[in-house]
Structure 1
Amino acid sequence: MLERLDLRGLGDESGDALAGLLPRPQAGDAVSHDAVRRLIDEVRNGGDAAVRELTARFDGVDVADTLVPVAELSAAWDRLSPGLRSAMETAHRRILEFHQSEAAIGHVYERDGVAVRSVNQPVDRAGIYVPGGLAAYPSTVLMTVLVARAAGVDDIVLCSPPGPDGDLAAPVLAAAHLCGVTEVHRVGGVQAVAALAYGTETIRPADVVAGPGNAWVATAKQLVASDVGVASAFAGPSEIVVIADATCPPAAAATDVVLQAEHGPGGRAWLVTWDDECAEAVCSAIGQIVDLSPRRVETLATLKADGFVCLVDGPAQAADVANFVAPEHLQLMCEGAEDLVSSIRHAGAVFIGPWAPASVGDYVAGPSHVLPTAGTARFAGALTTDDFTKRMHVVDVSEAGFDQLAPAVAELAEAEGLWAHAASVSRRKEWTTTGVRP
């Protein structure tokens, strides 16, 4: 079921040699940027009518009014089972507390009569995309909206694709109610990203668009990034790399390989080990677990297309593989896992030990589960409050500080041929008292 990659014997050159031996997808490889751009332009030019037509074309349902009445949100919450309501409240509390504690605080730098304050200002309006259609992801509502809330954003609009009946799943609506979102639209795909970025007659544009999705959604976010803030790098189909050895229960490792694969095609699922017996046992267990899964078809599609068992010489080479893949989720289920963390440079989130499956991170650990995929963890990280704020600097200069720094300003300005820049300091005291004279 998993394609076998044997990297043993590469020795010290393994880090450089990996580029020619391991597959690494590029963000949006499977999607035509021109096709996505045409869809975005349809919404920019056609507004609500284009959104309705594209929803009918891609989701197979005619949605005349995308806005979900607020009463439906609270009704969905009231209908939740006690167990699911308690689980959502637990997740809500932990996610909000984590991001509030992580939110950057103001910074002050003072030297030579100049004081500079860094002030984090939230954007006015955040657009949240929550995948849906054939599946429901209330956890993504929590993992996106609450990050924006912790950043100080008050105005939040949420879009999610309608199901076959034209409605959104009750748990998604309930999660929106719990998070205090009152503007929810039944629209998904590229048309949702375009509507959030540029607006329509009924959806006001947002300052930032955040949330995971399929490759089309992720590509659309890339293409609107010149006009609107786009949170995270390429939050596309789910990925996981599990590094395991003989100390790891095979069934546990197998389940964790499968848990991200069950999201469906487009993702990646890797097992990396230096133990042949571990590889055989985990692969055998994967087959048994897939057979038990209600999402067997989606899981098999991912494992057959992008499932790998990678044999390496040891932990150091395993870390090289993980850094090359730069996975969304990296799970260390091996002896010395904590020590191995220092060798990991590129991963969206790292989970240590047998009691930390990535599912804990997906739901209740605290950090957002919106993570970089398709190798973009090489330069990007998880969704945080930073994605919903921008840093504003406040500069306060005393007269003594001005006197000390003015000569340097004048020299640099004159070197760049900017006369007024130089005059603003070299003649400031004269002009402050006498005014400009020819």
Structure 2
Amino acid sequence: MKNCIIVIIAKFITFILKLLGKNAGTVPGRIALKLNKNIRDYIKIDGKLIVITGTNGKTTTTNMIYEILRKSNKKVVCNIGGNNIGWGITTTLLKSCNIFGKIKADYIVLETDEHWIPVLYTNANLKIDTLIILNLFNDQLDRTGEVDTIISKIGKILKNYKGNLILNGNDPNVVRLGLMNTKGKNYYYGSKKLKTSYTDSTESIICPICKETLEYEFYQYSHIGKFICPKCEFGKINYYNELSKIDVNDFYIGKDKYTTNNPNLYNIYNLLAIITLSNIYNLDKDIVNDIFTNYASKDGRYQKFNINNKECILNLGKNPTGFNVILNNIKKDKDNKELLILINDKINDGKDVSWIWGIDFNNMNSFNRIICSGTRAYDIAITLKCNNYDKNKIIVEHDIDKSINKLLETDSKKYIISNYSPLTKTKEILEQLEKGDK
């Protein structure tokens, strides 16, 4: 009876918050967990549970999977808002269950922070059918720890895991987890050598089996690429899906052609994971490709705005790898362009922002101006100056509203890269400006 009442309370709080125009993504779950810390044990799911995790790309990948399943006329439960830790996932489950704790859907799709995988899914009621691991990089060190810690945590659920495991076969950190999955089935995806691949890198990855340095045939970005251990052959795997070519907005897996409106390589890697999932569940390729072609982000990840006939693109950058991939793609744009960088150091950002020194700010002279904002605006400005960007083109403005107004003063193309906590406010401001409400 107590748990029934908690479910009703959570649903009522969700209703009131939405009525007030507030975000109901985490508060109902937070209150429910205060009333019963084991409330998730009350939840019983009737449907296939798909979990998406990794350092970069979780939210967009999850949302695209949701759209594909929805367009396939499936009943889907999903935390599409990106609330991917305990409170948010608990909110999604309570919002979707009946008063007896039962969720009936074809698919339950949950984006999950890497840190929370062993916390949430050791529960027998939340049995994963397919787990997708996109990539693993050093992220917010003061919150989640080094990659080895994350691998150890995810590995805990793989000891007795019997579901599908979709893995980035070009990420040695992810391939390590495939070795731990002895009872389930591994589906690796990867890429052939592309025109943009390279062979020289400062990355040095040690084989987790024999401690030899891994050898790379080529790199795609950071430590992502075709690798093998020369001693024990760690990395010698067969790809279930292998990217063979990118041609502007088209990309190919063998002879199968797909089209995306975001042809950045890091995004295409995530699309390979989605294609693998669609193969497992026999989803219609035309529906999958339609979502790839027409998907419009609304979550601040490569989200486009048109403000007074000026194109403005917002992206999330929360670690060196993500930042560098975004910057490299922006640098390819030959248009006149300006950049706003927003960095805060709140709890959900990680208090330790020393990672910004891992951002490659070399060769930034193609930007007419760079505006630095957020609580660590000066840190970014110093990093830019130390990388020989013209100090006369650096503007520091801590206030987000004012920094956006400053960015929009000129007619050039606008790019914004934000870490977690400024992202939502920035997105809301840009949406208001696009509508002419601000």
Q: TM-score range by the shorter chain?
A: under 0.3
**Higher-strand-fraction structure:** 2
- Give the structure with higher Rg (CA): 1
Larger relative contact order, structure 1 or 2 (CA cutoff 8 Å, min sep 6): 1
**Higher-helix-fraction structure:** 1
Q: Structure 1-normalised TM-score?
A: 0.28
Q: Structure 2-normalised TM-score?
A: 0.28
